[in-house]
Structure 1
Amino acid sequence: MARRCANNYWLQLSDSIQRASDSGNVRGMYEEIKRATGRPVARTALLRSRSGELISNRTEQLNRWVEHYLDLYSNVNNVSQEALDAIENLPFLDALDAEPSVEELNKAIDILPCGKAAGEVGIPPEVIKSGKPALLGPLHELLCLCWREGQVPQDMRDAKIITLYKNIGDRSDCNNYRGISLLSIVGKVFARVVLGRLQALADRVYPESQCGFRAQRGTSDMIFSLRQLQEKCQPFSIKSGVKQGCVLAPTLFGIFFSLLLKFAFRDSTEGILLHTRSDGKLFNLARLRARTKVRAVLIRELLFADDAALSSQTEEDLQRLLGCFAHACREFGLTINIRITNVMGQDVVVPPSITIDGNQLEVAERFTYLGSTISNNLSLDSEIDKRIAKASSVMAKLNERVWSNRQLSLHTKLKVYHACVTSTLLYGSETWTTYAKQENRLDCFHLRCLHRILNITWEDRVTNTAVLEQAGTMSMHLLLCRRRLLWLGHVHRMQDGRIPKDLLYGELAAGARPTGRPALRFKDVCKRSLKTAFIDPQTWERLAVDRCSWRRAVREGVRRGEELRSRELEDKHRLRKARQQTRNNMVAPSDFICANCGRDCHARIGLASHSRRCRQRVVR
């Protein structure tokens, strides 16, 4: 019974992680992985005062937090009248002012997530959801009353702030913590009703470059776009972060920030100009030489919520962009955090010198954008190092709970491995432009993990093909191929005008690839992957239009590709063994031959070591 319960628990958890990974729900995926690996032990650290002195007294530490958050949240940001006058007036939406309906409130309660902190009032979300039949009427009356009077009860506005370490920088620095507001659950329900109204306005205001908190968009869109910009030109990138807020805060900030960008770049022509055309074949560059149907696209900013990257082709253009951006921030009452703002020049001899209000920005060789490492030389080595390190950490955390757990079946362990370790290892891999040596590094780690799960050592002399067959999985080369092709089909199905699609089908308006052997492009690895999956590179677009047909073709093609690769490796293995056997036949056999398997160990110490392991295999 205990064995069956343990297997069912891990199978359900693995399925939950896999569903989150397949649907692009990165947050849900990592929450479930944390459940699998166990919550880390909370560590406390001393805080530093403004003067830099360490504070150990609990009361003084609380006072330091009060001082820190008063500095962050007590200042009143005033937007200048000039900035307000420059914003284009949109047509009125009278429907947004109507009193909320019962249906809106009912929907807000239904989508309320469970398992969240209750806030200062102490009413958890489960109480609201379970008591919805009795509470729906009174809550709707209260909501309409608040709507008419323009005020809500004070306990819905009060928040309890908890601090979470960002896992970067000094633990004693208050700036390296994120303040999370625990709000009233009833207030969150009301806020979700307002959020539904605001979303209609946000969709009219958001620029195409904003992919945060929007349907059918995710981090992969912006990671892919930034990597494509690196392939096609020489960008400089700026990254800044801001505080998180309540349910309404992301949408409100998104609207506010979108208007700020419109004001900042209303007269700007700096950026990266591309020519793109998506109605031709991807691998036929002649389509961009047509006099019609080619669109000019200016890529200036890439946004995901409050993560921003500004790009330009020259240092001077970037300085002008940042000047406009800094001026707009002042007009809208925002402050740029110079400490976490970086600039990166791609393949430059002299590091760029970029300033904001006289402050020199730090030049970075690499930085993390939406969880993916971006390097100034287009290399994926740093990103692969980071992904292997994170996957190794997950592998180690699951050692006692899963890999060494004799109650779990091999099938369960492999499902946990694919759900937790592989999903961590391959985060963002659909956007990678990988060379063979980089794929080999990932494959070596993949096989090393499978050896550990299957309890196979080098002394067993089991081939990699046999390991993959025993595990019922495929090599990392084909796993990368499958993810890349699924992403390729997803981008192809996007509407024209989406930044990832424009970048995939576009090229620089002015410029040429360097002489010699150019760097590998994403198009090149896509073409290689299509051939690996037995899909015609000339006709794949017609197949990719239908999502189900495309996914079915990719899965079948990758399966055939793995079978072909396995046969080729087995043939090479047999040929190598035949050559070895021929050489052995030319040498007289020694006196140290294993009695169980007949292997010639050539020496007494080799025979003794081999016999112990060979007897164990015979017993098993």
Structure 2
Amino acid sequence: MEKKCKKAKWLSGDALQIAVKRKEAKSKGEKERYKHLNAEFQRIARRDKKAFLSDQCKEIEENNRMGKTRDLFKKIRDTKGTFHAKMGLIKDRNGMDLTEAEDIKVQEYTEELYKKYLHDQDNHDGVITHLEPDILEWEVKWALESITTNKASGGDGIPVELFQILKDDAVKVLHSICQQIWKTQQWPQDWKRSVFIPIPKKGNAKECSNYHTIALITHASKVMLKILQARLQQYVNCELLDVQAGFRKGRETRDQIANIRWIMKKGREFQKNIYFCFIDYAKAFDCVDHNKLWKILKEMGISDHPTCLLRNLYVGQEATVRTGHGTTDWFQIGKGVRQGCILSPCLFNLYAEDIMRNTGLEEAHAGIKIAGRNINNVRYADDTTLMAESEEELKSLFMKVKEESEKVGLKLNIQKIKMMASGPITSWQIDGETVETVSDFIFLGSKITADGDCSHEITRCLLLGRKVMTNLDSIFKSRDITLPTKVHLVKAMVFPVVMYGCESWTVKKAERRRIDAFELWCWRRLLRVSWAARKSNQSILKEISPGCSLEGIMLKLKLQHFGHLVQRVDSLEKTLMLGGSGQEEKGTTEDEMAGWHHRLNGHGFGWTSGVGNGQEGLVCCNSWGRKESDMTEQLN
């Protein structure tokens, strides 16, 4: 079998013909002819690449002009050539490389991962006769309209757009099916099937454990799942504590990042050491024990009818793995929450909540005392962070969590667990392994340091922004894309990377200058103006017309986040930011608010009443305001 050669997608037929002749000349040892053909190939290849990029950039500009956002960013990804790792050679359980196509499959690994143990048989009682209220037609319509479009189809190959085109006809058919499932508690087998697609993570791509899987399920089943989720939500909201922010409405990763930063800030204010333990579970979502899950749902007051529906959904579920080498046979799934299922996040949250209840963290005296409240953990789904004011208290909390987690089948990954402290700490030995002590940690995508300083995170984000900017060079250097489109792309693709988690940053004067310098670097790069060129920053800003500065956008996000927290009746974030009995704490918050107000005025922001409704809002009156002169003085 002849090996297939890889070729660049921009090469024309002429270039490929010359490449064949060049290969022949090389094999025959004709050096002069090879040298001539190679030069000719390079010339044509450069021409083809330039023409290809020009066509791609014209399509990007056209998509932006027509408002086709999805096509715009898809074309950008295609143009910049993002690397996607593919499954190639893998190792078997003995560590030997598998080379045959029929062997390069992950069915054995995946089947072993989800296999149910023989002593954990599902003891199902049968059909429940006392039913919850019937499913209404408007619920089906709402569920169908809320399903995200442009998603891959499941095993049946039916896209969700087909149901949405059929409108009322599809609603009637799906309502009939959902109502039948609701009454009989029996699911169609196709709705219990999933197609797994392995995606490489960090590490050796030959190791199956370094892959995570995404699952494709039928879109029709999502209608029933959304209705069931909506009816379960009232139970979930009542049972989960506010320290859990994962997969909850109105809660984000930035909330937990801000919580950690505020806790560290309170520790510095009151001169207390704080000890953190960042817990990592090994395959947490894939190791949930089904029988224990049903028991937990019953203990939390969820009625028998929805529990029976969930139980029958999980019993007899099947999956197949799709790779570049084909699709495996169907195999049984015996444990773990369903991949790709809408209900899985809330089910796992309830599972994790039961662990913490049995641990007794809520009643434990260990933790950080703030505003009359004891806080010893914050969670985002399976990412759990324990905290205490002493190393002994932290280790006690950790051992309790470890013990209760193992009782329900979740094992801690000791190698990935990290400890961080603002005071002295000794190394821990857990199950013969040493828990690593670090001075900084990437928590939910944001760098947290032991001293609580944000300057390291700001520097890191600015470097990530430069990396994204450099990756988009081929687009930004194109003359086929207009300057307003390039500015729009910078604001949509570069600035969000820099601003992630900025709501909780404490930005000093030096960091503000770095942020301003980064923004000017971006605009100069768009205009292809060297830093050595004798062109003032004022002229650059006038030509770009960016509207608000990057720091101004950050300040606006910070103020919006603050308003978002203040509007909550009672929350962990509000307690940490505004709570406290000391005058020092109150003064600190007021001083920071005054600083925000001063800098917002410096960026040209002002308060104005809304048109017609008398509401106040934040507006940008002058794009750069007085900050422009400060930045010009700094950078020139």
> Is the structural similarity TM-score above 0.5?
yes
How many Å separate the matches in 2 of 1:107 and 1:96? Answer: 22
How many Å separate the matches in 2 of 1:156 and 1:70? Answer: 19
In the alignment, which residue of structure 1 is the partner of 2:618?
A: 552
Pick the aligned partner of 2:194 from 137, 155, 159: 159
In the alignment, which residue of structure 2 is the partner of 1:218?
A: 252
Q: Are 1:430 and 1:483, in contact at CA under 8 Å, matched by a contact in 2?
A: yes
SS in 1 for 2:279: coil
How many Å separate the matches in 1 of 2:76 and 2:61? Answer: 16
SS in 2 for 1:406: coil
Q: Are 1:163 and 1:179, in contact at CA under 8 Å, matched by a contact in 2?
A: yes
Instruction: Check 1:178–1:41 CA distance in 2 against 1; reply closer, same or farther (3 A cut).
Output: closer
Q: Deviations over 1:167-214 (max 9, x none)?
A: x33323322221112112222222112111111211111111122222
Question: Which moved further from structure 2: 70-79 or 143-152?
Answer: 70-79
Instruction: Check 1:131–1:15 CA distance in 2 against 1; reply closer, same or farther (3 A cut).
Output: closer
Instruction: Check 1:512–1:134 CA distance in 2 against 1; reply closer, same or farther (3 A cut).
Output: closer
How many Å separate the matches in 1 of 2:400 and 2:558? Answer: 37
Q: Are 1:143 and 1:190, in contact at CA under 8 Å, matched by a contact in 2?
A: yes
Letter in 1 for 2:384: A
Question: Which moved further from structure 2: 414-423 or 66-75?
Answer: 66-75
Percent same amino acid at aligned positions?
A: 24
Report how far residue 102 of structure 1 moved.
Answer: 1.5
Report how far residue 432 of structure 1 moved.
Answer: 0.9
SS in 2 for 1:325: helix
Q: Are 2:276 and 2:420, in contact at CA under 8 Å, matched by a contact in 1?
A: yes
Within 5 Å, give how 1:273-292 maps onto structure 2.
273-275=369-371
Report how far residue 467 of structure 1 moved.
Answer: 1.9
How many Å separate the matches in 2 of 1:449 and 1:247? Answer: 40
SS in 2 for 1:362: strand
In the alignment, which residue of structure 1 is the partner of 2:470?
A: 396
SS in 1 for 2:180: helix
Within 5 Å, give how 1:169-568 maps onto structure 2.
169-233=203-267, 234-241=274-281, 242-243=284-285, 245-265=340-360, 267-275=363-371, 296-346=372-422, 348-350=423-425, 352-356=426-430, 359-401=433-475, 403-473=476-546, 474-496=548-570, 498-507=571-580, 525-534=592-601, 551-552=617-618, 555-556=620-621, 559=622, 562-567=624-629
How many Å separate the matches in 2 of 1:305 and 1:263? Answer: 17
How many Å separate the matches in 2 of 1:382 and 1:500? Answer: 23
Unaligned runs of 5+ in 2: 1-54, 121-128, 268-273, 286-338
Report how far residue 321 of structure 1 moved.
Answer: 0.9
Report how far residue 485 of structure 1 moved.
Answer: 2.5
**1:68 lines up with 2:109 in the alignment:** yes
Q: Deviations over 1:493-544 (max 9, x none)?
A: 2223x111111113599x999xxxxxx9887554322222249xxxx99x9x
SS in 2 for 1:394: helix
SS in 1 for 2:102: helix
Question: Which moved further from structure 2: 372-381 or 314-323?
Answer: 372-381
Q: Deviations over 1:539-573 (max 9, x none)?
A: x99x9xxx9956426x44xx48x322334567x69
In the alignment, which residue of structure 2 is the partner of 1:47?
A: 90
Q: Deviations over 1:562-616 (max 9, x none)?
A: 322334567x69xx9xxxxxxxxxxxxxxxxxxxxxxxxxxxxxxxxxxxxxxxx
TM-score, length basis structure 2: 0.71
How many Å separate the matches in 1 of 2:119 and 2:351? Answer: 13
How many Å separate the matches in 1 of 2:187 and 2:626? Answer: 66
How many Å separate the matches in 2 of 1:198 and 1:567? Answer: 56
How many Å separate the matches in 2 of 1:181 and 1:306? Answer: 19
Letter in 1 for 2:399: G
How many Å separate the matches in 2 of 1:5 and 1:30? Answer: 11
Report how far residue 451 of structure 1 moved.
Answer: 0.3
Q: Are 1:14 and 1:419, in contact at CA under 8 Å, matched by a contact in 2?
A: no
RMSD: 3.8
SS in 2 for 1:563: coil
Q: Are 1:439 and 1:477, in contact at CA under 8 Å, matched by a contact in 2?
A: yes
Q: Are 1:301 and 1:309, in contact at CA under 8 Å, matched by a contact in 2?
A: yes
How many Å separate the matches in 1 of 2:459 and 2:614? Answer: 34
Report how far residue 78 of structure 1 moved.
Answer: 8.9
How many Å separate the matches in 1 of 2:131 and 2:421? Answer: 45
How many Å separate the matches in 2 of 1:523 and 1:372? Answer: 26
How many Å separate the matches in 1 of 2:369 and 2:598? Answer: 32
Question: Which moved further from structure 2: 382-391 or 147-156?
Answer: 382-391
How many Å separate the matches in 2 of 1:121 and 1:113? Answer: 17
Q: Are 1:250 and 1:305, in contact at CA under 8 Å, matched by a contact in 2?
A: yes
How many Å separate the matches in 2 of 1:72 and 1:66? Answer: 10
Letter in 2 for 1:258: E
SS in 2 for 1:253: helix
In the alignment, which residue of structure 1 is the partner of 2:169?
A: 134
How many Å separate the matches in 1 of 2:113 and 2:616? Answer: 49
Q: Are 1:33 and 1:420, in contact at CA under 8 Å, matched by a contact in 2?
A: no
Q: Deviations over 1:300-338 (max 9, x none)?
A: 221222222121111111111112212221333322232
Q: Deviations over 1:66-110 (max 9, x none)?
A: 23223321135999xxxxxxxxxxxxxx99822322121111111
Report how far residue 32 of structure 1 moved.
Answer: 10
Unaligned runs of 5+ in 1: 18-28, 80-93, 276-295, 514-519, 577-620
How many Å separate the matches in 1 of 2:231 and 2:119? Answer: 25
Instruction: Check 1:152–1:397 CA distance in 2 against 1; reply closer, same or farther (3 A cut).
Output: same
How many Å separate the matches in 2 of 1:443 and 1:427? Answer: 16
How many Å separate the matches in 2 of 1:567 and 1:153? Answer: 67
Letter in 1 for 2:182: W
Report how far residue 162 of structure 1 moved.
Answer: 0.8
How many Å separate the matches in 2 of 1:386 and 1:173? Answer: 30
TM-score, length basis structure 1: 0.72
SS in 2 for 1:69: helix
**1:106 lines up with 2:153 in the alignment:** no
How many Å separate the matches in 1 of 2:560 and 2:500? Answer: 14
In the alignment, which residue of structure 2 is the partner of 1:56?
A: 99
Q: Are 1:434 and 1:525, in contact at CA under 8 Å, matched by a contact in 2?
A: no
Report how far residue 38 of structure 1 moved.
Answer: 5.7
Letter in 1 for 2:515: L
Report how far residue 35 of structure 1 moved.
Answer: 7.5
Count of aligned positions: 504
SS in 2 for 1:310: strand
How many Å separate the matches in 1 of 2:153 and 2:472? Answer: 31
How many Å separate the matches in 1 of 2:87 and 2:553? Answer: 40
Question: Which moved further from structure 2: 485-494 or 521-530?
Answer: 521-530
Letter in 2 for 1:494: R
Report how far residue 227 of structure 1 moved.
Answer: 1.1
Q: Are 1:238 and 1:310, in contact at CA under 8 Å, matched by a contact in 2?
A: yes
Letter in 1 for 2:61: N
Within 5 Å, give how 1:115-130 maps onto structure 2.
115-130=150-165
How many Å separate the matches in 2 of 1:120 and 1:190? Answer: 17
Q: Are 1:205 and 1:259, in contact at CA under 8 Å, matched by a contact in 2?
A: no
SS in 2 for 1:268: coil
Report how far residue 357 of structure 1 moved.
Answer: 5.2
Report how far residue 215 of structure 1 moved.
Answer: 1.8
